[in-house]
Amino acid sequence: MNPQTGAKLDASDAALIQRIVQRDESALAALYDRYAGMLSSVLNRILRDTRAAEEILQDIFYQLWRTSSRFDPSRGSLAGWLTVIARNRAISRLRKHNPSSGEQLDENSVIVPTNLDNVVAEKEMMGRVKRALGKLPQEQRAVLELAYFEGLTHSEIAQRTGDPLGTVKTRLRSAVETLKRTLQP
């Protein structure tokens, strides 16, 4: 590791964004190294198509390069925003919607439960999420994953699983309640 790379890895998201605003490619590369794995994972899970996932991944970071001056790290989470954008785009691609439909998302409108700009925090959060999902009854986890990874609404989940709409609503509500309790700081 050369000294410059070390500095990049230690820099906060806010510092890297500031450098991107000043058109520093190495800051973009550092943010890519930090978050591309996380985004690639969710894109591949939703799309199950490596090439499509790679296209969206590249587009997201290119958008960050183009619009970085609009992002205020003190008001929102970069990791959260990148993840929400990745999921929205993948679901749109999956459902053959216009990629921009449903993406009325302000750059500062996602607040994650913890700062994810270091590997330790990311792994700690990953462990908490996996433990929370592991504790859910199978039926609740299934509806939560259908909603998140396939972008299905209550009615669409009911149609897919054959369960009554009321049952689906209750299961999903219980699942998000559990997730919320687990992720509360």
Residues 25-64 that bind other proteins (CB under 8 A): 25, 28-29, 32-33, 36-38, 40-42, 44-45, 50, 53-54, 57-58, 61-62
Q: By CB under 8 A, is residue 169 in contact with other proteins?
A: yes
Pick the closer one to other proteins by CB: 11 or 82.
82
CB of 6 to other proteins, least distance (A): 18
Pick the closer one to other proteins by CB: 6 or 37.
37
Contacts 24+ apart (CB under 8 A), 18-25: 20/64, 20/65, 20/68, 21/68, 21/69
Q: By CB under 8 A, is residue 23 in contact with other proteins?
A: yes
The type of residue at 76 is G
Pick the closer one to other proteins by CB: 11 or 68.
68
For residues 53 and 44, is the Cβ–Cβ distance under 8 A? yes
Q: How many residues bind other proteins (CB under 8 A)?
A: 79
Euclidean distance between CA atoms 124 and 10, whole angstroms: 18
Q: Which residues contact 70 (CB under 8 A, 6 or more apart)?
A: 107
The type of residue at 91 is I
Euclidean distance between CA atoms 122 and 138, whole angstroms: 25
Q: By CB under 8 A, is residue 15 in contact with other proteins?
A: no
Annotate each residue in 128-147 with x if it binds other proteins (CB under 8 A) or - if it does not, as one string.
Answer: -xx--x---x-xx---xx-x
Of residues 92 through 121, those in contact with other proteins by CB under 8 A are 97-98, 100-102, 108-113
Angle between helices 154-161 and 165-183 in degrees, nearest 10: 120
CB of 20 to other proteins, least distance (A): 10
